[in-house]
Structures are given as structure tokens and as C-alpha cells.
Structure 1
Amino acid sequence: MQTIYKTRITKFGSAAFDFMEDKVFVLFGNNAPEDVAEYCLLIDLSKVNGEISKGDIFQLGGKSYTITSVGSKVALNLEQLGHITLQFDGKTDEGLPGTLYLENTPFHKPEIGSEIIIIKQ
């Protein structure tokens, strides 16, 4: 198994967990505009080392989720801005360009300092 992405959550916006009912988290790099940052889990920018693919493993705070679909701009946006949407609905077609779709399973609120890791399967 190869780690293709690794970062850490540094801060939560005041409304970052308002979308949990919709099974959504929004990630953004620490340089997010203030009006957007309040809705995001803020992360350190990090390089993507390989292709993110369906079937890979997304880890959030030590819990693992299978990636079910990858939007066409996920890797680029993640590396350049740290900005993608995490959708825990199990969608299997490509969907929105900046969205990483994860298995439809119960998920948790991460903590500040939690690692985000993507592992090639």
C-alpha cells in the first residue's frame, strides 16, 4: 500500500459541521478566504503523490472509508488549494469535479490535529 496524500486538520470553521446531516465535510487549505473558511475543515497544503482512484482508502482521524468515486478536479484542487468536498453517500459515478465520494457509512466528527490520509489500494 502506498500513501498518496497526507495532511492534518489545523482548525474548524464555526459552521464546519453544519452539513453533517447531508453527509458532507468541506476541506480547504489554511489560506481559505475568511467567509468560506467558516464552513470548512482547514488543512495544511500537501502534495498528491499519485492518482486518487475508486477503491482507494480515505482515512480521517484513524477511521477508514472506501473511495467510491473521484471528481475530475479532486487531486488538482486538493494539492493547489486544499479545497474539496467529502461526500459520504456511496455515489459511484463521477459526480461533481471537486468532490471525493466515500462509502455510505456512519462517519464521525474529526478533531483538530486529526490526520487525513489517502492510501492506494
Structure 2
Amino acid sequence: MMTKERSIFSTKVLEIGSESADFKSIDMAVLFGDEAPDALRPSCFIINVEPISEQIVAGMKLEIDDQVYQITAVGNEVQNNLGRLGHTAISFTGVTEAKLPGTLYVESGNYPEFKVGSTIRIVAE
């Protein structure tokens, strides 16, 4: 029997900062809503700020277009920052203990190909 996935958060990439790809070398991506400060904007993938329907926890999945990553750890400021500002850093390292409060950690895998219009979702089963 298929379990129905619940969408916890869903947004789209609006803009790709000119320096955002620099973070690929450290397996990280920085998301920020359209209110991103000018100093940070070039480093970020700009997204729509969207509500989060429930607490984000390890074990949920992060989907970037058709790539799926298991969430391994969630910094204690991710929920608030992502919901209010569209801001979080995603670490594709598989770390299981959140070292940075504003970072969402997911299993290591191929770095996603972000493009304008890419869908970013967090889902739970």
C-alpha cells in the first residue's frame, strides 16, 4: 500500500545568485527569500517565502526537482528562518548532528542542478 506523502514545505527558485555555485565545493546551498540583503544575494538561491505546515525533523525528505535527499539533522533556527525569511543553508554532507543552527543537513549525494523554476519541497510520509 502506498503511503501518501505530506508536503511540509514547497517553493520555487526565482533567481540564482552569481556566486551561489561557489558553495558547491563545500556541498552547501544557501536559500533566501526575495528580501535577501544585497550583500548576501549573490551567494544565494532566491526562493519564494512559503509557510511550513509542521516541524521539520530528521527522517523527512528534501526534494529538489527529481532528486531526493533524506534529512539527517535540522538546526534549531531552520524552522523559523525558512518560514519567515525563506532562509536556510542546506548541507549535503550527511551530518547527523546539527552543528550550525541555521543549517538543514541532508544525506550526501549528487549536488542538485538548481535552475530558475526548480521546485524545492520538504515531504514527510
Return the TM-score normalized by structure 1. 0.97
Larger radius of gyration between Structure 1 and Structure 2: 2
In 1: Cα distance, 2:33 partner to 2:98 partner: 23
CA RMSD in angstroms comes to: 0.8
SS at the partner of 2:13?
strand
Task: Give the residue type in structure 2 aligned to 1:115.
Answer: T
The answer (yes or no) to whether the contact 1:69–1:94 under 8 Å persists in 2 is yes
- The gaps in structure 1 that reach 5 residues or longer are none
Query: Which residues of 2 match residues 55-70 of structure 1 at below 5 A?
Result: 55-70=59-74
Aligned partner (choices 25, 31, 35) of residue 31 of structure 1: 35
Equivalent position amino acid for 1:114 in 2: S
Counterpart contact for 1:61–1:111, Cα < 8 Å: no
Deviation readout 1:25-74 (Å, 9 max, x if unpaired): 00000111111100000000000000111010000122111000000011
Tell me which amino acid in the other structure corresponds to 1:78. Answer: L
CA contact (8 A) 1:25 1:40 kept: yes
TM-score normalized with structure 2 length:
0.94
Q: Show structure 2 runs of 5+ residues with no match.
A: none
Identity across matched positions, percent: 34
| 1:52-107 Cα shifts (integer Å, max 9, x gaps) | 11010000122111000000011110011111000000000122110000101112
Query: What is the distance in 2 between the residues matched to 1:111 and 1:10?
Result: 8
Helix, strand or coil at the partner of 1:96: coil
After superposing the two structures, state which structure 1 stretch, 68-77 or 106-115, moved more. 106-115
* Superposition misfits of 4+ residues, deviation over 4 angstroms: none
User: May I ask how many residue pairs the two structures share in their alignment?
Assistant: 121
Among residues 2, 9, 16, which one is paired with 1:12 in the alignment?
16
Q: What is residue 40 of structure 1 aligned with on the other side?
A: 44
